Structure formats: C-alpha cells, structure tokens
C-alpha cells in the first residue's frame, strides 16, 4: 500500500553557501544555490545591490540556510 511518492531532500550546506558567497557573492550565486532565483537575478544585475546586500549576507547567511532547510523538510521548497 503506497501513500504517494516519498521525496528525499538534501540539506543545503552553510559551508558551501559561504564559499559561494565569498567567491561569487556579488553575482548572487549563493542565492541560486539556496533556490532563491529572484534574489539571485537581482544580485546578478546589481552587483550584490551595490555590495550592500553582499555585506548583509555575511551576517544573515546562517539564518537563510536554516530557513531553506526547514522549508525543504516540510515540503515547501
């Protein structure tokens, strides 16, 4: 008896997110990695919102990764 498909998700890594932020953060690559496509495109077109968003991400990236992982765990993303 099957209750539908079972999805296995892999958690996003904070270490990978920070590496992407450091190397390519002004292009928004860390946001593409987290599945935040709109924000990634915004960063890509504005240079990390003139680097201000890049600096903000330095402090908010752990919370962003936790939020994405929590949403994926309950099937929102």
In order along the chain (77 residues), what is the average pLDDT of each group of 10 residues?
A: 69 97 96 97 95 96 97 86
Residue 58 to residue 64: CA distance in whole angstroms = 11
First to last CA, the chain: 26
pLDDT at residue 2 in the model: 61
Q: What is the pLDDT of residue 10?
A: 86
Per-residue pLDDT of 32-46, as tens digits, reads 999 999 999 999 999
Distance separating alpha carbons of residues 9 and 49, to the nearest angstrom: 31
Q: What percent of the chain has pLDDT over 90?
A: 82
Global pTM exceeds 0.75: yes
């Amino acid at each position: 008896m099957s209750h539908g498909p079972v999805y296995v998700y892999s958690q996003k890594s904070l270490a990978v997110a920070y590496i992407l932020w450091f190397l390519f953060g002004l292009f928004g690559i860390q946001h593409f990695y987290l599945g935040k496509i709109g924000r990634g495109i915004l960063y890509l077109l504005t240079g990390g919102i003139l680097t201000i968003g890049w600096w903000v991400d330095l402090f908010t990236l752990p919370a962003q990764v936790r939020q994405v992982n929590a949403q994926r765990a309950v099937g929102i993303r």
